[in-house]
Structure 1
Amino acid sequence: MTSKLRETGGEVREEAAASWAAVVATARRSVADGLVVGTSGNVSARVGDLVLVTPSGVPYDRLTPDDITGVDLTGRQVLGTLVPTSELPMHLAVYRTTDARAIVHTHAVHATAVSTLVPELPLVHYMAAALGGPVRVAPYATYGTDELAEHMLRALVDRSGCLLQNHGTLTYGATLDQAYDRTAQLEWMCRLWLTASSVPGLTPSLLTEAQIAEVGERLKGYGQRR
């Protein structure tokens, strides 16, 4: 167990250590899957009032259990010595205003391309329902700023993901797996729309919001039941 968690209770210490390992694994997965390049993008998870977040400018394959980086909901660093990601304002804004337990931010190519073309991802596939409906594009603002966090929050109203204009994506969920799956689905839908809309002389058929809402209801019962 990392020495930087000794000051916390045993149960919280174990949960934080496990969550940190999952944060690092998810960050590495985003690189392996081509959703980010180098140290771009970031990942976080919430454990109580503690937010574990990838540090700024550190290659994910170099992170170890002792590199755990954590802040409270005000942004005050309470774990580790590495500087937290510059996108910390976005992560904290989501945790303060939603029930999110995990966040994934990427610079995925197709999603970023779409963010430069339209104010909202066209409803080209029913999996938009998995993110709450039509995915909006948050207006551009400089990375790491409160202004960007504010734009993002408006785009996230009743949604679990959004595009960031000329920047990338942000999705959240109850778990890191769910947040990551939403990121991957969003990138896939953006790639699908770009592919379909590039065919000369043809326009992709789109779904209606009513059709997306119907899928949203069906997804509530999707998957295995224990």
Structure 2
Amino acid sequence: MLLEQERRDVCLTARALADGPGTAPGEAGTVSVRSGDLVVVTPHGVPLDRLQPADCPVMSLDDRVLEGRRDPAAEATLHIAVHRRAAEGGRDVTAVVNAFTADTVAVSSVLAELPPIHHRAAALGGAVTVTPYTTYGSGEIGDLAAKALKGRDAALLADHGGLALGRDLAHALENLRLLDWLCAAYVRARRIGEPRVLSEDELAQVRRRDAYGWAGPDVW
């Protein structure tokens, strides 16, 4: 079986995604991981918490299905487009996760951009772009997402949910959960008033602070 370990890892990540709070039931999202020019992606028609490794198709970066007992998820076109752009750009990205959580869907249906109201937003690249709405599973949504992810590790897909990248599956899932948390924090803040947004200079200071870890009270 091609990429047997990667298929097992995708199943474990899919189950963890399905167990997350606020995630839609059933096929609540799509998980993929790239090894060289091959990509393992979750299949169509199987709830994420019931996946088996043999269910997961193996695809090439030119959208061909090479192995797997089930068809790829509709969002495979989105994932392949993002993987292809990352590989062409030499980015340290091998994993992509997207999900329909209540807070990412809520924010993506209202805003054109999720502003950074907490310093953890710096880990995703700052403000998170919301792509224009288009039908899921289309080639257009893949192109829009790839553009929105330039210099970023996450994007929001209008009226659809969130998408995150990572150097591996654990990192991609962590980034997706961070995106979901930032959306939830923004929604709560708006109930109180207009949130204060961190500037690019403030985010740059956060990145410098992150690079040092603990280095005393003043790293500058």
Q: TM-score, normalising length from structure 1? A: 0.87
SS in 2 for 1:198: helix
**Structure 2 match to 1:62:** 50
**Structure 1 match to 2:175:** 182
Which of residues 187, 196, 211 in structure 2 aligns to 1:205?
196
**Structure 2 match to 1:18:** 5
Give the conservation status (yes or no) of the 8 Å contact 1:111–1:163: yes
Q: Point out where structure 2 has 5 or more consecutive residues left out of the alignment.
A: 215-220
**Structure 1 match to 2:189:** 196
> Over residues 120-143 of structure 1, what are the superposed CA-to-partner deviations in whole Å (9 max), with x where a residue is unaligned?
112211111111121110110000
Q: Does 1:86 align with 2:69?
A: no
User: Separation in 1 of the partners of 2:67 and 2:141?
Assistant: 25
Give the conservation status (yes or no) of the 8 Å contact 2:56–2:72: no
RMSD (Å) for aligned C-alpha atoms:
1.6
Q: Does 1:49 align with 2:42?
A: no
**1:36: Cα distance to partner?**
3.6
**1:217: Cα distance to partner?**
3.1
SS in 1 for 2:31: strand
User: Separation in 2 of the partners of 1:167 and 1:97?
Assistant: 21
Give the conservation status (yes or no) of the 8 Å contact 1:132–1:216: no
User: Separation in 2 of the partners of 1:139 and 1:152?
Assistant: 9
**Structure 1 match to 2:126:** 133
**Structure 2 match to 1:72:** 60
Decide which moves more: 181-190 or 16-25. 16-25
Q: Does 1:103 align with 2:96?
A: yes
**1:222: Cα distance to partner?**
4.9
Q: Point out where structure 1 has 5 or more consecutive residues left out of the alignment.
A: 6-15
**1:221: Cα distance to partner?**
4.8
**1:216: Cα distance to partner?**
2.3
> Over residues 43-88 of structure 1, what are the superposed CA-to-partner deviations in whole Å (9 max), with x where a residue is unaligned?
0001111100000121233322332310011111111121001111
Decide which moves more: 172-181 or 58-67. 58-67
Decide which moves more: 63-72 or 101-110. 63-72
Give the conservation status (yes or no) of the 8 Å contact 1:125–1:207: yes
User: Separation in 2 of the partners of 1:189 and 1:63?
Assistant: 29
Q: How many residues align?
A: 208
User: Separation in 1 of the partners of 2:212 and 2:146?
Assistant: 28
**Structure 2 match to 1:32:** 19
